């Protein structure tokens, strides 16, 4: 299956549905590919315009899904049809839902101490029979990295969900992808926080009205500055249209 791509502010984002994204990730697992999957929202794409390393990583990732209404809008505006939003949180849930039937092993890496463990309990409740083969919090120094890599390798996950925040998770996964020997690694931002109940997702009506970004900005006032990322993104995309 070859996928269409939209080039948004210099980053190639795949155009696909949630069902196709799940299929693609499962194909990576079956091929044991060491694949890197990124979930690109407007904030990440804006960041990539100022961070060459992040841009390079995204353009060399095996799959970049359109996470967020802003990304879907930009692709459509630039003339590449994007069927729907594929949010990182939702993609992770779909993969976990199908994991017990397929026997996929999953590792939770990231977030504050205790969060990955609570997220594991939640996953076991939601997806009976799921194999969460390891957890590790996302606060560490460089000296801890060899041990973390060894731990992940020894747990032999099929899917590594890394919740270290953008761009740390993308940079970390890219740097260590050979060493980790994991078929699929996905940067999932706040997913473990949401699963553990530390952070809330926007109510469904707000997600449907494409207002999740607004909910986040209001919920985390310290990050209200991030709200500006969306209008800035829209203007930049408009200016980039040839």
Which residues would be at the binding site for ligand UDP (CB under 6 A)? 110-112, 138-139, 163-166, 168, 189-190, 192-193
Q: Which residue is nearest to ligand UDP (CB)?
A: 138
CB of 41 to ligand UDP, least distance (A): 8
CA 75, CA 11: separation in Å to the nearest integer?
A: 11
SS3 (DSSP) at 30: helix
When the beta carbons of 224 and 238 are compared against ligand UDP, the nearer one is 224
SS3 (DSSP) at 193: helix
CA 169, CA 146: separation in Å to the nearest integer?
A: 16
Interhelix angle 69-77/212-219, rounded to 10 degrees, is 140
CB of 2 to ligand UDP, least distance (A): 29
When the beta carbons of 134 and 189 are compared against ligand UDP, the nearer one is 189
Cβ-Cβ contacts under 8 Å for 56 (sequence gap 6 or more)? none
Residue 31 CA: distances (Å) to CA of 81, 99, 238: 28, 16, 39
CB of 58 to ligand UDP, least distance (A): 14
CB of 141 to ligand UDP, least distance (A): 10
CB of 214 to ligand UDP, least distance (A): 15
When the beta carbons of 15 and 111 are compared against ligand UDP, the nearer one is 111
């Amino acid at each position: 299956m070859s996928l269409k791509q939209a080039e948004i502010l210099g980053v190639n984002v795949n155009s696909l549905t949630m069902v196709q994204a799940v299929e693609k990730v499962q194909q990576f697992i079956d091929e044991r590919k060491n694949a890197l999957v990124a979930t690109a929202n407007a904030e990440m794409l804006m960041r990539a315009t100022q961070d060459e390393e992040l841009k390079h990583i995204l353009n060399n990732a095996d799959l970049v899904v359109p996470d967020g209404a802003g990304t879907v809008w930009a692709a459509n505006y630039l003339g590449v049809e994007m069927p729907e939003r594929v949010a990182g949180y939702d993609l992770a849930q779909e993969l976990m839902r199908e994991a017990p039937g397929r026997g996929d092993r999953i590792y939770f890496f990231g977030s504050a101490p205790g969060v990955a463990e609570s997220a594991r309990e939640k996953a076991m409740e939601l997806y009976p029979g799921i194999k969460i083969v390891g957890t590790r919090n996302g606060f560490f120094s460089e000296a801890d990295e060899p041990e973390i890599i060894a731990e992940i390798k020894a747990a032999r996950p099929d899917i590594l969900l890394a919740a270290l925040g953008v761009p740390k998770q993308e940079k970390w996964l890219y740097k260590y992808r050979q060493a980790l020997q994991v078929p699929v690694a996905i940067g999932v931002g706040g997913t473990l926080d949401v699963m553990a109940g530390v952070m809330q997702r926007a109510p469904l009506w707000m997600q449907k009205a494409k207002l999740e970004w607004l909910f986040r900005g209001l919920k985390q006032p310290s990050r209200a500055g991030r709200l500006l990322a969306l209008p800035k993104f829209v203007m930049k995309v408009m200016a980039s249209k040839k």
